[in-house]
Amino acid sequence: MAFGSFQDQGGAPTPQPMAEINTTPLVDVMLVLLIIFIVTAPLLTHGIKIDLPKATSSANPEQPETVTLSVDAEGRMFWNDAAMAEADLPAAMARAAARTPQPELHLRADMNTKYQRLAEIMAIARNAGLTKLGFVTDPNVPADAR
């Protein structure tokens, strides 16, 4: 590293200020900050000792049951694997919605079932008061096989 002075050096052109950055003070400051952080970091993890109240709680053991409504390609419906007439569907959904806790309705539809039919079933479920509806699919069928 070159050190220069601002005094005239006998015939030399006007001296220029030193253009190099002195990094020694920067390194000194960074090392001091590093030591400060190393010393204070363990103090920040110190917790306050308090006596918490004791309470016991158990998880809700009552899981809502599931009701399965299957629709095949011909439009026939099966309520929990039992054949059901279309006219009985609103009453069955209303009975399910009245239970506590309300069961989840799992809708299993054939791949060739029209969307219109599924939309009608979802509207009946909503009108009956069912709030939990899920679609059951087969995750093992590859997309190109459809």
**Range 24-46 average pLDDT:** 88
| Whole-number pLDDT of residue 49 | 78
Percent of all residues in the chain with a pLDDT value above 90, rounded to a whole number = 42
β pairing state of 104-109 and 82-84? unpaired
Band of the pLDDT at 8, cuts 50, 70, 90? low
pLDDT at 116 over 70: yes
Domain locations in the chain? 66-138
Band of the pLDDT at 12, cuts 50, 70, 90? low
For 66-138, CATH gives: 3.30.420.270
The Cα 98–Cα 87 span in angstroms is: 19
**Range 52-78 average pLDDT:** 82
As given in the structure block, the two tokens for residue 82 are 């039992």
Element (H, E) at 78: strand 77-79
| Whole-number pLDDT of residue 5 | 57
